[in-house]
Copies of this chain bind each other. A is one copy, B any other.
Amino acid sequence: MTSGVALGSRAVAGRKVTARKAIASKPRASVAVRASGDRKWNFSAGPAVLPLDVLEDAKEDLINYKGTGMSVMEMSHRGKDFMKIAEEAEADLRELIGIPANYKVLFLQGGASSQFSAIPMNLAPEGGVADFILTGAWGKKAYEEAGKYMTTNLAASSKDSNFSTIPDVSDWKLTKDAKFVHICSNETIGGVEFKEVPDTGDVPLVADMSSNYLSKPIDVEKYGIIYGGVQKNIGPAGMAIVIVREDLIGKTHPLCPTMFDYKLMADNDSMYNTPPCWTMYTSGLVFKKLIKMGGLEAVEKMNEEKAKILYDAIDGSDGYYNNPVDKKYRSLMNVPFTLGGGEDLEKKFLKEAAAAGFESLKGHRSVGGARASIYNAMPKEGVQALVDFMADFKAAN
């Protein structure tokens, strides 16, 4: 075990530490790498861990989907077999979230980054002003892209605190008659998450939920548009899901690419052209699983428990590990942390964690440090294995 090597290569004083190691080293090494097929504990920020039973179902049916004689990857998107998959995916998602009838659900290719352009082109075909709340890197990208198509107003930003908090709604400088107000409901890199839905009155609220989509209940009616790439908390990369209030669409910017036209996509049930079928199918399996788990309330409870284990471990480490985010707005999904001991120790930590079977714990290249993304599909035992490893590492280093 890696911690054991670390122990041997360094003079560690004190019987207590040695005792911890003696107890911890062997069983914990076997916890880190899962028994079933030697799968790792995968803390990647996206693409990210998927539920093992969903992967098992996909594998089982890969060559011949439920007796159809074809893989889902080979089916005509207009054939009855795939149409059923697509219809069930939408129906299940509507049930899971509780999406009102006056909201359209679009399954679109291209990820959230494509929506950064599509949103202004659909909501502000003749320009106008949009308000942006900046709480991190992704909100900033949406803000910059929208500036190509309309006037953008930086209504609030937590840049001064290095994006470690959410600016108080009372301080937002909103524009009267704005076309929309944009937030990123969870910043994947900074690990800061909205805990309440801001009230923007008659101005449609637009939220990028890429990294906390389906992690907790969503009160759809408080939004004009909810959107996000699926590759963090839902399915394999290659699709964005857009939930849009139908009265907001119908007219696009004259230069809007056809494939970005929400109305056209809605009128064609997201099948104006060939959709990303495999990603829709796998996402659909995830929707069914979440419904079976008890829906988004149950999912939220599980995520709160998992996040508590990790934040408690960080907060209880006397500054050995540190999370920089305002406690009120800490993300349940992405937990960045640094080591008080500095960069060299961080490198050692990341190297040993990787060797022990913890995957993709490195922080985003723009901020460094470590980051554990603990999306819906990360089991509680994976988080427990991580905090055990963190305790071992602390004891040994």
Which residues of A approach B to under 8 Å, CB–CB? 33, 37-40, 42, 44-50, 52, 55-56, 58-59, 62-64, 67-71, 73-79, 82, 109-114, 116-118, 145, 148-149, 229, 231, 235-239, 253-255, 257-260, 272-279, 282, 357, 359-360, 365
- Residues of chain B within 8 A of A238, CB atoms compared: 109, 238-239, 276-279
A254→B147 CA distance, assembly (Å): 11
Contact call A37/B64, Cβ cutoff below 8 A = yes
Contact call B71/A50, Cβ cutoff below 8 A = yes
- Residues of chain B within 8 A of A272, CB atoms compared: 113
A365→B76 CA distance, assembly (Å): 13
CB-nearest residue of chain B to A52: B63
A259→B114 CA distance, assembly (Å): 6
**Residue with the highest number of chain B CB atoms closer than 10 Å, among A49, A109, A237:** A237
Contact call B109/A258, Cβ cutoff below 8 A = no
The 8 closest A-B pairs by CB, nearest first: A40-B69, A117-B257, A238-B276, A73-B236, A44-B76, A59-B62, A113-B273, A238-B238
Chain A interface SS verdict (over half): loop
The answer, among B39, B44, B70, B273, for a CB contact under 8 Å with A39, is B70
CB-nearest residue of chain B to A278: B236
Given that A257-B114, A273-B111 are known contacts, is A278 also in contact with B69, CB under 8 Å in the complex? no
Contact call B145/A258, Cβ cutoff below 8 A = yes
Given that A109-B110, A359-B70 are known contacts, is A75 also in contact with B117, CB under 8 Å in the complex? no
